[in-house]
Structure 1
Amino acid sequence: MSQPATQPARTSQPNVVLGMLLLVYIFNFLDRQILSILVEPIKDETGFSDTQMGLLGGLPFAILYSTMAIPFSALADRTSRSKVIAAALVVWSGFTALFGLTHAYWQMFLARMGVGVGEAGGVAPSYALIADYFPSTHRARAISVYSLGIPLGSAFGLLAGGYIAANVDWRAAFITVGLAGILIAPLFLWIVKDVPEPVAPANTPSAFWDTIGETWAIVRRKKAFWLMALGAASASMIGYGLAFWFPAFLMRSFEFDLQEASRFVAGLLLSGGVAGILASGILADKIGKKDRAFYTRLPAVAFVLAVPLFAAGILSENPTLAFFIFIIPQALVYFWLGPILSAVQHLVEPRLRATASALFLLINNLIGLAGGIYALGAFSDALKPAYGDEALRYSMLFGLALYLLAAALLAAAGPALRKGWVDEAG
């Protein structure tokens, strides 16, 4: 357990901690998403189908990423959140580098599972550490800043992967980014310190599995938890699917080369993605103080607005026009991150935050990450007889209905969130 103290004494500067967590999260998504820009080079070498690549991109990673996050987060809640995050960074970076040395499909599958095991220890403890360092009135925007790791890491992964693959090969891309992540782990551990917690009450769980059991007993009774988790999972299913298949769509439908596709998607992420995440965090903290339901209503409205705009971009035949159309929905579909992930921190007391986040991510990622990438790939293969080389375009288009399902679930979660909100001092 963390050192006892009457009041939490911050041992690092909050903004410095947030900056280091963001850096680690950038590597998290860089290593996770680099596969998306390298789908076509890998297929050219191996002859894998879209279904096989979709399976490789989601399921092996998601199974262990989702399930192992729970024990790793309980470990972080009971020991050291910063040490668990640093160890996770080393593991997932190592397996990313190892992927570059694989040849057979089963070797790639196991390497992606290893990346999932490592990343399981990174995200939920980071949410909890942010909640330790930032008061509730600023927490949504702090989590939004942390969530910038998604578009930044994805963009850098696309740019680095595309450049290295075009100038060396796709294997060198995995090895390079994996080794870079390992090198920053000691720096993270040196800078980021845990916040000592108050002396635990007498009824605090004393066993590792008791922490998981107590957290589950709380969240399973809260309607808001289920509606937010299933809503986020629906959005993540199409969101991860689009993120993975977008470069391939550009190469097939617009005849982009590898680097053109990487620059196109990176540009969307660095403009629309960054703007959407920051705006949602600021709005949630500002308006959510008046009504907690706003934490779920904001992303619900954003998803509804995003669907027709995404559809217009996907159906466009002009890549320049499509880029400018895509910027707005690319921002809107990130509106859930800051508000929803902040709200999850308020469903339990502080000492259980990492475990609660892991349970939320279990649902989100098993459905969203494992299902979305595979489903769009398999649907693309199924549509080929009717649409030929444009099958992926229509697979993405039909999948947008999942954003409407997410909007309905999150809109319904608002009243339940008001009832389930756990207030705290400061």
Structure 2
Amino acid sequence: MVIHLLAHIDRNMLLGFSPQIVKDLALSNAQYGFLVGAVWVMSFGVMAMVMGSLADRFSRPRVIAAGVLIWSACTLASGHAQTFEQLAIARFFVASGEAALVPAAAALLTELFCEKRRGTAMGLFFMGIPLGVGCSFLLAGSFGATHGWRTTFYVLGILGIAIALPLGFLKEDRSKLAPHERGAPFVAQALAVMRTVSRDRALCFTIVGFVLVHLVFASFSFTQLWLVNERGMNAAGIATRIGALQLTFGTLGALVGGAMADRLAAKLRGGRASFMALLVVTCAPMMLAYRFVPADSPLFYIGMCAGFFLPLAVYGPAAAAITSMAPQKMRSTVFGFTMLSINVFAFAIGNVVVGMVADHFIKAGATAPLTGVLIATDVLAISSALFFALAARATGRQRAAAMKNIQPAR
């Protein structure tokens, strides 16, 4: 969880410093969207499957250690960037390193915790996301406001390198496992994952819903720009406020989502998928109202906090459901495939399309170009409830069939 925290601080510092970096490097909205979106799928998405397949075959702690070393060195290099191209290359390799962590860690947690506690364990691990996002904005508004974005990147890079070196001494020898308990080489493993996901409807629908709910993060990438440019808020002040709210409600979401899913999954016919569908439906009205009400309205902040709460509340039950449904020898690779799908459809396409459409509306003279785009993104994220409901239906049918098969013969 500590390493996950560091990963998301490094990843989201670009969001925390978005007005300063856009100004210093003279970036367009589309270029900024590329840096926070498409550059990740070009590296993180593909490498998540590659690193996942390695974690299914070799030492997972050492795979993670190599990733920490790579992304931290490239975070340090990001502070030297003078152009869009230089920053894009540095961020490309930051993403490559970070791709090693989640697939390996999710598989480890699935093996370490029983079914009844798995969602809570995943929720605790994924606390690294809101803590990292929140800390990145808090750093931008405090340490970064005094020392600048470049110095902040330097400090974070050095800290990560210091953590990576001793991490490599943690051992796990998967070569001693039987062949059927270890993953296959990458191509064969990837093909096996594709077959597994396509055949298991509950797994497939859960992954689709999990991808869609990540469109909340696509809109979040532009939230600070929206608040500064269209709601008239101060950049430094709102960065600190967003950081505090993300830290509080994102962390609360990770804890509550995982723990409640563990308690309610056995009582709901569709298990964790039913719980996730209910979460989305509950948060949806507040998230939509947030875009329309005045910035001094209590509902404005309630809706903002619901947007911070929802995706993290889904993480614990979704990760537990996906890794539990996946065969043991491909758990890391299946979660790597999930990360690839998230980065392609939510982060890369989502961020670039939001930036491009916003640029189009600006040229057309729209008074609030980002507002309409972000509302549409929120609606797409809320549509994840439909796919979680379909996953719940498939899970219920699987459970009913399993119970029928174990009934004693008469």
Q: Same fold (TM over 0.5)?
A: yes
Q: Any idea what the Cα deviations from partners look like across 1:366-422, whole Å, max 9, x if unmatched?
A: 11111222222222222225664632223212221112321111111113235668x
- 1:142-157 aligned at under 5 Å gives the runs 142-157=121-136
Is 1:162 the counterpart of 2:141 in the alignment?
A: yes
The answer for unaligned runs of 5 or more in structure 2 is: 403-410
Q: Which residue is equivalent to 2:152?
A: 173
Report the secondary structure of 2:117's partner residue: helix
Q: Which residue is equivalent to 2:197?
A: 219
- 1:94-105 aligned at under 5 Å gives the runs 94-105=73-84
Q: Which residue is equivalent to 1:5?
A: none
Cα distance in 1 for partners of 2:314, 2:101 equals 20
* Closer, same or farther: CA 197–297 of 1 in aligned 2, 3 Å: farther
My pick for the range that moved more, 274-283 or 384-393, is: 384-393
Provide the aligned length of Structure 1 versus Structure 2. 399
Cα distance in 1 for partners of 2:398, 2:177 equals 25
Q: Which residue is equivalent to 1:60?
A: 39
RMSD: 2.4
Aligned AA (1:326): M
Q: Which residue is equivalent to 1:14?
A: none
Is 1:382 the counterpart of 2:337 in the alignment?
A: no
Q: Which residue is equivalent to 1:15?
A: none
Q: Which residue is equivalent to 2:327?
A: 349
* Closer, same or farther: CA 139–219 of 1 in aligned 2, 3 Å: same
Cα distance in 2 for partners of 1:43, 1:66 equals 25
Is 1:299 the counterpart of 2:276 in the alignment?
A: yes
Is 1:247 the counterpart of 2:224 in the alignment?
A: yes
Q: Which residue is equivalent to 2:88?
A: 109
* Closer, same or farther: CA 341–330 of 1 in aligned 2, 3 Å: same
Cα distance in 1 for partners of 2:88, 2:230 equals 28
* Closer, same or farther: CA 204–307 of 1 in aligned 2, 3 Å: closer
* Closer, same or farther: CA 292–91 of 1 in aligned 2, 3 Å: farther
Conservation of the 8 A alpha-carbon contact between 1:241 and 1:374: no
Q: Which residue is equivalent to 1:132?
A: 111
Q: Percent identity?
A: 24
Report the secondary structure of 1:256's partner residue: coil
Q: Which residue is equivalent to 1:232?
A: 210
Q: Which residue is equivalent to 2:392?
A: 414
- 1:277-426 aligned at under 5 Å gives the runs 277-291=254-268, 293-319=270-296, 321=298, 322-385=300-363, 388=366, 390-418=368-396
User: Shift of the alpha carbon at 1:83?
Assistant: 0.5
Conservation of the 8 A alpha-carbon contact between 2:180 and 2:329: no
Aligned AA (1:257): N
My pick for the range that moved more, 160-169 or 137-146, is: 160-169
The answer for unaligned runs of 5 or more in structure 1 is: 1-21
Provide TM-score, normalisation by structure 1: 0.87
Q: Which residue is equivalent to 2:407?
A: none
Aligned AA (1:146): F
* Closer, same or farther: CA 323–193 of 1 in aligned 2, 3 Å: farther
Report the secondary structure of 1:332's partner residue: helix
Conservation of the 8 A alpha-carbon contact between 1:164 and 1:172: no
User: Shift of the alpha carbon at 1:62?
Assistant: 1.9
Cα distance in 2 for partners of 1:48, 1:355 equals 35
My pick for the range that moved more, 192-201 or 180-189, is: 192-201
